[in-house]
Amino acid sequence: MADQKKNITVALVGNPNTGKSTLFNALTGLNQKTGNYAGVTVDKLEGFFYFQHNSTKEKATLIDLPGTYSLYPKSIDEKVTTDFLLTENPEVVVVVIDSTNLERNLLIATQIIDLKFRTILAFNFTDEATQQDIVINLPELEKTLGVKIICTDSRNNFGIDELKKYIPEAQTSTSHFYDLNSPHYKTKTYKDCLTQNSKEIESSDKIYRFNVIHYLVKKYTQQPKDLILKSKASRIDKFTTHKLYGYLILLLILFTVFQFIFYLAETPMNWIESGFLNLQDYLIEVLPDNSFTDLLTNGVLSGISGVFMFIPQIAILFSFIFILEDSGYMARASFIMDKIMRKFGLNGKSVIPLISGTACAVPSIMATRSISNTKERLVTIFVLPLISCSARLPIYTLFIAMLYPNHLFFGVINAKGLVLFAFYLLGFLLTLTIGYFSSKIIKTKESSVFLMELPIYRKPKLSDLSIQVFNKVKIFIFDAGKIILGLSIILWFLTTHGPGNTLNDLNNQKISINKRPPHPLNDSLIKTIQHQQLENSYLGLIGKKIEPVIEPLGFNWKIGIAILSSFAAREVFVGTMSTIYQSGNDEDLQNIKEKLDKEKNTDGSKSYSAATCWSLLIFYAIALQCMSTVATVKRESKSWKFSLLQFVLFTSLAYLCSLVTYQLLI
């Protein structure tokens, strides 16, 4: 067996929309991992592949650097790429070039060559160049540049093996593309000039390079005046970016995406939930009745279930996002929405996460990675939990039904549906409002300029889609999942333990009742004991402690327990209320509704008056009452301070709005 030599590092560099990510996937497949660059929140995508060199199997670590137009950085993404190249010194740099747009793409290629890296140019989209009758004199251009050029079509895996073959043979060019007569380069290397970060040097360098590149393209390429694919894209853009039709098309696409996320995810989510419930029931049946079994079934498995429950939504959402991005439509959506969103401190690319947030905030927060501007991405993450997600629906359904049992407006419009729509509208308006003020608070040195070259329309590559979705799901499971699982175990402890022997005594009573012959009265007694156990647990006692704080909102200690319990997931609120009020079936909303309607205060007034119901609805419309969201925000922002600030601010805002609502309505 041939010996394996040491690992070499290969950096993958290129402009946005050059097929760099597709080439990375073609080279590495699933051999990828995601980290982050030191000191910044930009993701670092790293993979590896093997190749043969002199009859020896060698390994290459491939670093996919953020897309950049030049090594004079204008954003954090571009600065990461520049800093990596200037400090890490990879053995080989592969520059991905769009063969249909050499004039723009050769700028960074000449900069890499002048830094004297061992360089290979991957001329991608060669199939599209051929289709549009673009002819490039590759041998002569290769000779002038002084580096190897490999023709690739990463979408169809063309040229991948040849690229692997030439990586160990990459050469340092003896050519140069900066002005040797410029005073900036006296006794200095090109690397020295880049590190000075001088606007004067940048300006003169770019002017000189573009003149050289224009000469090279004119000398070594031939192409028609009108390119077929770009002309076709321009005709489609007359509709997709139209000042009226463009918005209608975007709304239709987003509506379709939302419908698919909501309905396609429901069935697999139910399967996952049923699978975990069946596993819990099985373990309860076969394992001894003790604390360890309770921890395993109601703590660990419940936490894992809460993680895996989100996988269908994450997978479906990112599938659609990938399709929209890879097809070229996402750039158009961002383009037409940028002017509107920017007025509120957001970005055109904020549109997709905000709309998909109506299904679930967790995958939507992860989707903000498409926003390159750090400040606008953080603002989008910050306001996303204000969008009403599907987890709020059980709460909305219960209390709106209590407020408007059978009301019709104008004899036709269902009041419940109208109020539900109003809460979704409220979330969107709050998002824009908080976004506006957040943008004034969050500071960044990064310039906020929306520059985007609209790519041609392309058919998405399904194998890339699978890799992208797999990586997103893996990130969620192993990063956010660890936090969710830990918090679930803490909540289990608080609901199953309490001071003194009260809970043990109640548990012994329950065991004694379970030994009796089956009788309907026994079920009622068991539910009463469960109610008492919850009331005397640490969580129940905390509910009693916080009652004076939440009483001005119209909430009693039972609502307090449900609010604390629902931190695991908002929809847990209804289940907790069902347990407290012994409603029997958690999903029997009519039953619990009747029980809440009959609940009286000590003075004989209704516990769940209209004021209380509206107050509770307002609270859940605003409060960040979801640990999955908190965990995901922490992961995406790389900061507990950011996540906790968001939680405290929205909880405080929810408290204030609920307080005002209740006090005005009582």
Unique residue bearing structure tokens 């269908």: 312
Give the pLDDT of residue 114: 93
**For residue 143, what pLDDT is reported?**
94
Q: What is the DSSP string of 644-661?
A: HHHHHHHHHHHHHHHHHH
Q: What is the pLDDT of residue 459?
A: 84
CA pair distance 377, 308, nearest whole angstrom: 26
**Residues 657/649, Cβ–Cβ less than 8 Å:** no
Output the pLDDT for position 115: 93
Q: What is the 3-state secondary structure (H, E, C) of 375-433?
A: HHHHHHHHHHHHCCCHHHHHHHHHHHHHHCCCCEECCCEEHHHHHHHHHHHHHHHHHHH
Domain boundaries, the chain: 8-225
Per-residue pLDDT at 43: 63
Give the whole-angstrom CA distance, residue 636 versus residue 371: 12
With CA atoms as reference, report the closest residue to 11 among 46, 59, 37, 38: 46
pLDDT along the chain (666 residues), means of 10: 66 89 87 57 76 82 90 80 90 94 92 94 90 90 94 88 90 88 81 83 90 93 80 84 85 74 74 84 86 80 74 80 81 80 79 76 77 81 88 81 74 71 85 87 62 75 82 74 72 82 85 80 79 82 90 91 80 71 48 79 84 95 86 85 92 95 93
pLDDT at 507: 82
Instruction: Output the 3-class SS for 187-199.
Output: CCCHHHHHHCCCH
CA–CA gap between residue 306 and residue 484 (Å, rounded): 8
Q: In the prediction, which pLDDT does 37 show?
A: 47
According to CATH, the topology of domain 8-225 is: Rossmann fold (3.40.50)
Instruction: Report the pLDDT value the prediction gives residue 587, as an integer from 0 to 100.
Output: 45
Residue 53's pLDDT is 76
Full-model pTM:
0.66
- Please give the Cα distance from 148 to 539 (Å, whole number): 67
